[in-house]
Structure 1
Amino acid sequence: MPERIALTIDTPAGARTASLTYERRGAGEPLLLLHGIGHHWQAWEPVLDILATERDVIAVDLPGFGASDELPDGCPYDLSTVGSVLGAFCEALGVERPHVAGNSLGGLLALQLGLEKAVRSVTALSPAGFWSEGERRYAFTTLRAMRGAARSMPLPVIGLLSRTPAGRAVLTSSIYARPGRRSPEAVHAETLALRGATGFRQTLAAGGNVRFRDDVSDVPVTVAWGTRDRLLLPRQGVRAKHTIPGARLVRLPGCGHVPMSDDPALVARVVLDGSRD
């Protein structure tokens, strides 16, 4: 069952408290899992039990997403602030320099933690931040459209669509190559998570000028990209490799932007391989 932990966060108005929700399973070296914008920790559910056979897996709802609190007033949703919150989260759990794997926004945050040497290894699945300006505008327009549809759609319609493969494709084909593989319950829950994400607008606004241009050295980095990613196009993986020459670049055949349910066995293997010392 998910747990919650309260953290003290420094803000311009002083110390404030916010709680994060997380799921923890397994045993072994700690592995922190970070989801993408508008999603929740359950994005990792298809691979959690596989990863938990070898790792102490901690999948967290980022601030303002899933069941976690939004950041206190005055706190920007930028890489530095959210990275600091994640650092405080790990410290509160007694976890020092975990391995980290992230998808999309979570992949960008994982790379930032790697740049700060706060983690032991980084696995980034279709990380944000390697786009051209045109590609960024396209991705942000798509995300806003998905969010707008989730917020405007009556709740009974979301429930009906999530029950059929065709309906699940309507709701999630922008991020999954095989949306029919997602269960009705999962698609229903993640559509509601996108609908209710209090940090969505601020996170998207903070990402407008983000470009990841720094090499991540002294920390093992794996960058993996789905060949059917329709949100962040696979050629961005080549840019990531040029930016981080020492990174291992992996293709995920037949996978979309959120590849964990498209091919759980492959994604779990990539994450486990990327988090070996």
Structure 2
Amino acid sequence: MTRLAFTRVGSGPPLVLLHALGLSRRAWDPVIPALAEHFDVLALDLPGFGESAPLPPQVEPSPAALAASVADLLDALGIRSPHLVGNSLGGWIALELAHLRPTASLTLLAPAGLWRGNTPLYDLASLRATRWVTQHATGLLYWLVKRRLGRTRVFGQAHGRPSKMSADQAHVEVDAMRTCPGFDATLAATMTRRYRAGPPINAPVSVAFGSRDLVLLPWQSRHLDELPAGTHLVTLAGCGHIPMGDNPAAVTALITAAAGCGLVASTEDTQ
């Protein structure tokens, strides 16, 4: 079993946070303090990201395989039927995890995998370009993200309000993308896959997209037909693909409401 690094804080029902491709558990820092007031929060580094080692070389890091690794960790910690929250690839993994074990609720923030065929070329190009820049123009990026205008230029695609990011948060995000050993293999494992409905998910599902998400384009990557009937669709006004730092209060409120099986004002039902 691959050993996964994690942060665990707070008390209450268990809540598991799954980050996006190329990031780490630090992506949840803007919302963890508020969530810890209501939940036993477990933010983890997926295999090959942050401080977690990659899966063994013979195991392809598909979303289902990554979900199985998370399931092993939850079993080791004695966590049963947690609330799951995932961003981008983390949302896809949360769906796969819900097919493996009981889940109290799912909150999917800009989940990946909701395209018709293979991963759209636009998203592949964006991810590869981001990875290349972090590895080959590191000094320039560090210089830029120290400045508010620089953070706007660097993170304008993924964040709806990049000027609100702190320099420290921006530095952490650049480092996470630059250093993660699992990036290439995980990206390759998603290229010819998409999320497909599996065994019934007997938990409420909420899906949120930011109104400024420039990564998952509406006509390419937001097809909800494989999701359970009754899935609730939410718009996070002013937020981008990684919404936690754009509006921590709105993201916290969404997660808390979804975990309580309630609806938020901007939710609409999908069938």
TM-score by length of 2: 0.90
- After superposition, give the CA deviation of every residue in 1:140-186 in whole Å (9 maximum; x if it has no partner): 1101000000000143x232111101211232222101111111011
- Are residue 105 (structure 1) and residue 89 (structure 2) matched? yes
Q: Deviations over 1:61-116 (max 9, x none)?
A: 11101111111221110122111110111111121121100000000011112233
Structure 1 residue 236, shift from structure 2 partner: 6.1
Q: Which one-letter code corresponds to 2:184 in the other structure?
A: R
1:5 corresponds in structure 2 to none
The 1-side partners of 2:220 and 2:230 are apart by 16
Aligned to 1:12: none
Structure whose residues are more often strand by fraction: 1
Q: 1:30 aligns with which of 9, 14, 19?
A: 14
Select which of 184, 187, 203 maps to 2:167. Answer: 184
Instruction: Measure how far apart 1:48 and its partner are.
Output: 0.6
1:236 and 1:98 map into 2 onto residues whose CA distance is: 30
Query: Per the alignment, in what secondary structure is the counterpart of residue 24 of structure 1?
Result: strand
2:237 aligned with 1:253: yes
What is the alpha-carbon distance in structure 2 between the residues aligned to residue 209 and residue 22 of structure 1?
29
Deviation at 1:241, TM superposition (A): 5.7
Aligned equivalent of 1:142:
126
Tell me which moved more, 189-198 or 127-136: 127-136
CA separation in 1, counterparts of 2:79 and 2:13? 10
Q: Counterparts of 2:112 and 2:202 in 1: how far apart (Å)?
A: 21
Q: Check whether the contact 2:112–2:221 (CA below 8 A) recurs between aligned residues.
A: no
Question: Does the aligned pair in 2 maintain the 1:120–1:219 contact within 8 Å?
Answer: yes
Structure 2 residue aligned with 1:89: 73
Q: Which deviates further from its counterpart, 249-258 or 131-140? A: 131-140
Amino acid at match of 2:249: A
Counterpart-to-counterpart distance in 2, 1:103 and 1:43: 10
Paired amino acid for 1:151 = Q
The alignment partner of 1:240 has SS state of coil
Question: 2:39 matched to which residue of 1?
Answer: 55
Distance in 1 separating the partners of 2:119 and 2:152: 23
- CA distance in 2: counterparts of 1:20 and 1:258, whole angstroms: 22
Q: 1:267 aligns with which of 215, 231, 251?
A: 251
Question: What is residue 268 of structure 2 aligned with on the other side?
Answer: none
- Spell out the pairing of 1:122-201 with structure 2 (5 A cutoff): 122-133=106-117, 136-155=120-139, 157-201=140-184
Change (3 A) 1:235 1:276: farther
Aligned partners of 1:225 and 1:237 also within 8 Å? no
Alignment RMSD, CA only? 1.8
Q: Which moved more, 1:144-153 or 1:63-72?
A: 63-72
- Segment of structure 1 superposing worse, 141-150 or 114-123: 114-123
1:67 to 51, 64, 83: 51
Classify 1:106/1:186 alpha carbon distance in 2 versus 1 (closer, same or farther; 3 Å). Answer: same
Count of residues paired in the alignment? 260
Specify whether residues 253 and 98 from structure 1 end up closer, same or farther in structure 2 by C-alpha distance, changes over 3 A only: same
Structure 1, residues 26-49: CA drift from partner, whole Å, max 9, x if none?
A: 100000000000001111111111
Deviation at 1:235, TM superposition (A): 5.0
- Specify the alignment match of 1:214 in structure 2: 197
Distance 2:118 2:181 in 1: 26
- Deviation string 1:225-252 (CA, Å, 9 cap, x unpaired) is 1111000024567622674321111111
Indicate the percent of aligned positions where both proteins have the same amino acid.
37
SS of residue paired to 1:23: strand
Matched residues in 1 for 2:8 and 2:54: separation? 21
Contact 2:64–2:93, Cα closer than 8 Å, also in 1: no
